[in-house]
Copies of this chain bind each other. A is one copy, B any other.
């Protein structure tokens, strides 16, 4: 029996479900409804469109074979009807009809459905502060906004911009404005770090340092209290508790919220924060109504908790599962491990699973291995340091998450993706130790960074490695009186360690090269707690082991070493 399918929302999840379903059931009647005129665009590409990497917005709406995905395309190529500029007003679940309104003609009509799918997406959160509606204040809501932002910049009307919100979109937009257009750009984030809840503070700190190197001004712990305008209603600045920032463009990137009013009004189960509740078949509380994409609540596969993950990649996979199930083919979308990756100028930052902070908050016996190895054979040209943090549970030895920060290529992606699929499968430290990463010098080190991170985690679990948290180390460097008995043991090359001894004094900074520790260990004062330092933390661990062996147990290793410290942009380096 041929069925009628109505899908509300024609970006990502909606089109994916529609086209997949139409391939599974070519005779069925599939209609998509969207209130916008532009549909099926790659919203994640907006920052690259604004910065000019993508020259034409139509590219964001095109297939890989360069056809624009408009109503005609969906009808001709896919056999899917699309009603654009058409808003869904209400769902009558008893009669199984959706009332829709054409936004141009004002005409209302009813669309009957056998199965309905909600792919209503998300809307940007607009801060409830004065001036949010001024001319020149933009959210990254849709392609129209993006087109207008770019037009304004290209027209030479923007010389100073403020981006409110240091999440992924905020950072990407800051790069877009600064990098190609040279706009004086300030990024402000209300929370104490960039990418809050996505990465741990060290990774946010390395990102912040890099943005600053690229002349983006970054203020954390600083929210916008008002947006300021002139008498014509044009934006002129942003007020924070600490300062007034001049601006002729303000990007409000304070996160997005699920668009679920239609679902709620139809009596479907919706989480208090707005996510539509679905089961693993992407069915809402009404089995004839499916939902997918940025409007739904998902399950975090590591914590088991309800989560929100508005990402185009998940939306597509959810859409396919919804399509399967609407066609009557059992198929499940189990949840997300929260994989994340982004480009920020010349750097890449990525994460999957839980951060250390989140793992602690979830009650895990959490610990982390912070490493800073080479991203490929150290002798191969173009090799670069990549910083990784493997988060794990000491009791179960389960790996809970991985974060990475490196130069802008796919090296972080390699490890984050391998970690994500292992974490999804419930991997323990041994699985990471055994992970068979394809090896040749242009691609990885003989001991891949993911294996190396697991080795460190293993050493930590076995209490062979005692580490000092980077934040405690940095605090001590600001104020030695915090730990009067601590003393740095710098095992780097004398040319590297020398200036530190000179700056901080022989009472605080002892330099014995790695290679000489076995013969010069008697120079190490017995009563002082030695903070062992090298570039990555690896040699420091070896020295710690040796010192333990000869009976000097009061030592700690600064994991990640100067490779991390330098990237955190501290101001005390000699």
Residues of A whose CB lies within 8 Å of any CB of B are 12, 16, 23-24, 26-27, 42, 44-45, 48, 53-54, 59-60, 62-65, 67, 73, 76-79, 168, 311-317, 320, 333-334, 336-337, 339-343, 348, 350-352, 373-374, 377-381, 408-411, 413-418, 420-422, 424-425, 427, 431, 433-444, 446-448, 451, 455, 464, 492-493, 514-516, 518-519, 534-536, 539, 541-542, 545-546, 548-549
Q: Assess the A414–B410 pair: CB atoms within 8 A.
A: yes
Q: Assess the A65–B334 pair: CB atoms within 8 A.
A: no
- Complex-state Cα separation, A352 to B448, whole angstroms: 16
Nearest-Cβ distance from residue A189 to partner chain B, whole angstroms: 19
Q: Assess the A436–B420 pair: CB atoms within 8 A.
A: yes
With A341-B440, A515-B76 known to touch, is A380 a contact of B431 (CB < 8 Å)? Answer: no
Q: Assess the A380–B77 pair: CB atoms within 8 A.
A: no
Q: Which residues of B contact A541 (CB under 8 A)?
A: 23
- Complex-state Cα separation, A315 to B439, whole angstroms: 11
Nearest-Cβ distance from residue A564 to partner chain B, whole angstroms: 15
Q: Assess the A546–B421 pair: CB atoms within 8 A.
A: no
The list of the 5 closest CB pairs from A to B, nearest first, reads A410-B410, A313-B439, A26-B549, A341-B438, A64-B378
Q: Give the residue among A409, A516, A548 with the most B Cβ atoms within 10 A.
A: A409
Q: Assess the A76–B519 pair: CB atoms within 8 A.
A: yes
Nearest-Cβ distance from residue A508 to partner chain B, whole angstroms: 23
Q: A73-B515, A343-B442 are in contact. List 8 more A-B contacts (CB 8 A).
A: A23-B542, A44-B377, A44-B441, A64-B536, A65-B514, A315-B446, A410-B414, A425-B425
Q: Which residues of B contact A442 (CB under 8 A)?
A: 48, 342-343, 348, 408
- Complex-state Cα separation, A373 to B316, whole angstroms: 16
Contact for A424 among B342, B436, B447, CB less than 8 A = B436
With A317-B451, A425-B431, A433-B317 known to touch, is A62 a contact of B379 (CB < 8 Å)? Answer: yes
User: Nearest CB to that of A12 among chain B residues?
Assistant: B446
Contact for A410 among B341, B411, B493, CB less than 8 A = B411
Q: Assess the A447–B317 pair: CB atoms within 8 A.
A: yes
Q: Assess the B417–A438 pair: CB atoms within 8 A.
A: yes
Q: Assess the B417–A424 pair: CB atoms within 8 A.
A: no
Q: Assess the A439–B516 pair: CB atoms within 8 A.
A: no
User: Nearest CB to that of A309 among chain B residues?
Assistant: B436
Q: Assess the A539–B421 pair: CB atoms within 8 A.
A: no
Q: Assess the A374–B410 pair: CB atoms within 8 A.
A: no
Q: Can you give 14 A-B contacts (C-beta < 8 A)?
A: A45-B379, A48-B441, A63-B378, A64-B536, A65-B514, A73-B515, A77-B518, A333-B434, A340-B438, A352-B436, A413-B444, A414-B417, A418-B420, A424-B431
- Complex-state Cα separation, A447 to B548, whole angstroms: 51
Q: Which residues of B contact A493 (CB under 8 A)?
A: 65
Contact for A313 among B77, B168, B444, B548, CB less than 8 A = B444
- Complex-state Cα separation, A541 to B23, whole angstroms: 9
- Complex-state Cα separation, A515 to B53, whole angstroms: 28
- Complex-state Cα separation, A414 to B415, whole angstroms: 8
Q: Assess the A45–B377 pair: CB atoms within 8 A.
A: yes
Q: Assess the B77–A379 pair: CB atoms within 8 A.
A: no
Q: Assess the B311–A439 pair: CB atoms within 8 A.
A: yes
With A413-B414, A440-B343 known to touch, is A316 a contact of B535 (CB < 8 Å)? Answer: no
Q: Assess the A54–B380 pair: CB atoms within 8 A.
A: yes
Q: Assess the B436–A421 pair: CB atoms within 8 A.
A: yes
Contact for A381 among B53, B340, B444, B545, CB less than 8 A = B53
Q: Assess the B313–A437 pair: CB atoms within 8 A.
A: yes
Nearest-Cβ distance from residue A39 to partner chain B, whole angstroms: 15
Q: Assess the B27–A549 pair: CB atoms within 8 A.
A: yes
Contact for A336 among B16, B420, B436, CB less than 8 A = B436
Nearest-Cβ distance from residue A104 to partner chain B, whole angstroms: 26
Contact for A417 among B311, B334, B417, B546, CB less than 8 A = B417
With A48-B380, A317-B451 known to touch, is A446 a contact of B409 (CB < 8 Å)? Answer: no
Contact for A77 among B12, B451, B542, B549, CB less than 8 A = B542
- Complex-state Cα separation, A44 to B377, whole angstroms: 10
Q: Assess the B446–A313 pair: CB atoms within 8 A.
A: yes
Q: Assess the A79–B379 pair: CB atoms within 8 A.
A: no
Q: Assess the B518–A434 pair: CB atoms within 8 A.
A: no
- Complex-state Cα separation, A482 to B464, whole angstroms: 68
Q: Which residues of B contact A427 (CB under 8 A)?
A: 421, 425
